């Protein structure tokens, strides 16, 4: 069967954080914050189950930011007082405020394992946990401690991510996904050290090894860049490199305009989480549109390797839209599964 999942994040309820904002401050504190996060995770697990998604996540309801939410659990990193740097190759802005490395970066214990255990207690579906990829984490920090370059910093993050990923796999994570939007930006670096950093992060990890490579959230800066961009061939370079690695599942955008789904042929024999739901618009796809986007992938991938997915995280969308998009996703997959005689 063609299965379904989401890239990772979901919008937070208004009582937990302001909607439509990345890195929005929490509206609760202390034990109330913990309780609010527990409730938000349960609501989204229920919604994902009601929608019929095959693989679920906690919607990143305990994280203000998909990168710093993990980095905060390591030593030596300040995610409060930020410093400017050229990030994402200057694609979306000349300078971006990023976290500062002020001391040795070490993993002293699990960061997300308790959150995973909570999810496992509240669902019987396979669970995916998302973590920032080492290249993207390096691109989102500045090393004020030793001024190391991104390749060296990425390897330090990869070592910490490896400890975390092993702990998550041991605690029952079914899929561990590293988020690497930078794989669509620094193509030479992906070849030179990005894949090596991934392998370091996944070394000995027994859960399914997944990677998310995208063109960014549906926020204004990104949408403005996408509207003007004419070069959409990055996957043609990165997917063959990923296919040759130990990564078993890749999540890519194909719902957004401009992308040619034929690029997934490089992943033949491995799982593709195919973006068939856009995150750039609050307009909800019909199940028929989702089905047509899945159908066109069948020329390049076997159906049992296809997983219908969102293009990226849905955190900037409204809750109602995110719910409706999840339903359209599963209904669209069901249409194609029926056509193929699989259900």
Distance of closest approach, residue 65 Cβ to Zn ion, in angstroms: 13
Question: Which sign, positive or negative, has the C-alpha torsion 50, 51, 55, 58?
Answer: negative
Residue 71 sits in the site that holds Zn ion (CB under 5 A): no
Q: Which of residues 193-252 bind Zn ion (CB under 5 A)?
A: 214
Q: Which of residues 29-68 bind Zn ion (CB under 5 A)?
A: none
Nearer to Zn ion, 214 or 309 (CB): 214
Distance of closest approach, residue 141 Cβ to Zn ion, in angstroms: 18
Nearer to Zn ion, 201 or 312 (CB): 312
* Contacting residues for 118 by C-beta, under 8 A, at least 6 apart: 38, 41, 58
Residue 276 sits in the site that holds Zn ion (CB under 5 A): no
Nearer to Zn ion, 67 or 101 (CB): 67
Residue 115 sits in the site that holds Zn ion (CB under 5 A): no
Which one-letter DSSP state was computed for residue 204?
Answer: T
Distance of closest approach, residue 74 Cβ to Zn ion, in angstroms: 22
Question: Which sign, positive or negative, has the C-alpha torsion 343, 42, 137, 163?
Answer: negative
Distance of closest approach, residue 111 Cβ to Zn ion, in angstroms: 20
Distance of closest approach, residue 180 Cβ to Zn ion, in angstroms: 9
* Nearest alpha-carbon partner for 309 in 278, 281, 266, 336: 278
Nearer to Zn ion, 263 or 312 (CB): 312
Is the Cβ–Cβ distance between 76 and 145 less than 8 Å?
Answer: yes
Antiparallel, parallel or unpaired: β 249-252 and 271-277: parallel
Q: Which stretch binds Zn ion (CB under 5 A): 10-18, 134-142, 267-275, 306-314?
A: 306-314
Size, binding site for Zn ion by CB under 5 A: 2
Residue 277 sits in the site that holds Zn ion (CB under 5 A): no
Q: Which stretch binds Zn ion (CB under 5 A): 43-51, 135-143, 282-290, 310-318?
A: 310-318
Is the Cβ–Cβ distance between 66 and 85 less than 8 Å?
Answer: no
Q: Whole-angstrom Cα distance, residue 196 to residue 190? A: 8
Residue 167 sits in the site that holds Zn ion (CB under 5 A): no
CA distances from 204 to 114, 170, 191, 320, 329 (A): 21, 11, 22, 39, 33
Distance of closest approach, residue 20 Cβ to Zn ion, in angstroms: 17
Nearer to Zn ion, 198 or 336 (CB): 198
Distance of closest approach, residue 66 Cβ to Zn ion, in angstroms: 8
Distance of closest approach, residue 7 Cβ to Zn ion, in angstroms: 6
Nearer to Zn ion, 168 or 312 (CB): 312
Nearer to Zn ion, 177 or 301 (CB): 177
Q: Whole-angstrom Cα distance, residue 284 to residue 184? A: 26
Across the beta sheet with 3-4, what order do the strands follow?
A: 3-4, 306-310, 271-277, 249-252, 208-213, 175-179, 128-132
**Residue among 185, 252, 312, 322 that touches Zn ion (CB under 5 A):** 312
Q: Whole-angstrom Cα distance, residue 157 to residue 139? A: 11
Nearer to Zn ion, 92 or 118 (CB): 92
Q: Which stretch binds Zn ion (CB under 5 A): 105-113, 149-157, 294-302, 311-319?
A: 311-319
Is the Cβ–Cβ distance between 65 and 17 less than 8 Å?
Answer: no
Distance of closest approach, residue 181 Cβ to Zn ion, in angstroms: 5
Give how far the C-alpha of residue 244 lies from the chain's centroid of Cα atoms, to the nearest Å.
21
Helix, coil or strand: residue 234:
helix
Nearer to Zn ion, 66 or 107 (CB): 66
Which residues sit at the interface with Zn ion, rule CB under 5 A? 214, 312
């Amino acid at each position: 069967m063609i299965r379904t999942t989401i890239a990772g994040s979901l919008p937070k309820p208004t009582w937990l954080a302001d909607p439509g904002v990345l890195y929005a401050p929490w509206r609760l504190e202390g034990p109330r914050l913990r309780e609010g996060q527990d409730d938000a995770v349960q609501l989204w697990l229920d919604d994902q189950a009601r929608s019929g998604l095959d693989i679920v996540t906690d919607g990143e309801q305990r994280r203000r930011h998909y990168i710093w939410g993990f980095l905060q659990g390591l030593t030596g990193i300040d995610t409060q007082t930020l410093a400017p740097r050229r990030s994402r190759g200057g694609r979306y802005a000349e300078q971006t405020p990023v976290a500062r490395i002020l001391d040795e970066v070490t993993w002293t214990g699990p960061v997300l394992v308790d959150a995973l255990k909570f999810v496992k207690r509240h669902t019987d579906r396979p669970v995916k946990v998302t973590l920032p990829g080492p290249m993207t984490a390096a691109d989102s920090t500045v090393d004020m401690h030793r001024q190391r370059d991104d390749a060296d910093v990425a390897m330090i993050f990869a070592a910490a991510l490896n400890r975390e990923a092993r702990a998550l796999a041991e605690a029952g994570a079914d899929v561990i996904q590293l988020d690497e939007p930078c794989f669509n930006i620094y193509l030479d670096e992906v070849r030179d050290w990005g894949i090596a950093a991934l392998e370091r992060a996944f070394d000995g990890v027994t859960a399914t090894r997944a990677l998310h490579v995208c063109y960014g959230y549906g926020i204004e800066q990104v949408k403005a860049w996408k509207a003007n961009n004419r070069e959409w061939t990055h996957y043609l370079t990165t997917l063959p490199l990923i296919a040759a690695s130990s990564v078993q599942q890749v999540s890519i955008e194909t719902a957004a305009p401009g992308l040619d789904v034929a690029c997934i042929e490089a992943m033949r024999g491995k799982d593709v989480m195919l973006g068939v739901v856009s995150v750039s618009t609050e307009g909800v796809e019909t199940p028929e549109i989702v089905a047509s986007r899945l159908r066109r992938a069948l020329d390049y991938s076997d159906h049992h390797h296809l997983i219908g997915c969102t293009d990226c995280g849905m955190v900037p969308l409204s809750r109602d839209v995110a719910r409706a998009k999840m339903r359209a996703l599963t209904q669209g997959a069901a249409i194609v599964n029926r056509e193929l005689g699989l259900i």
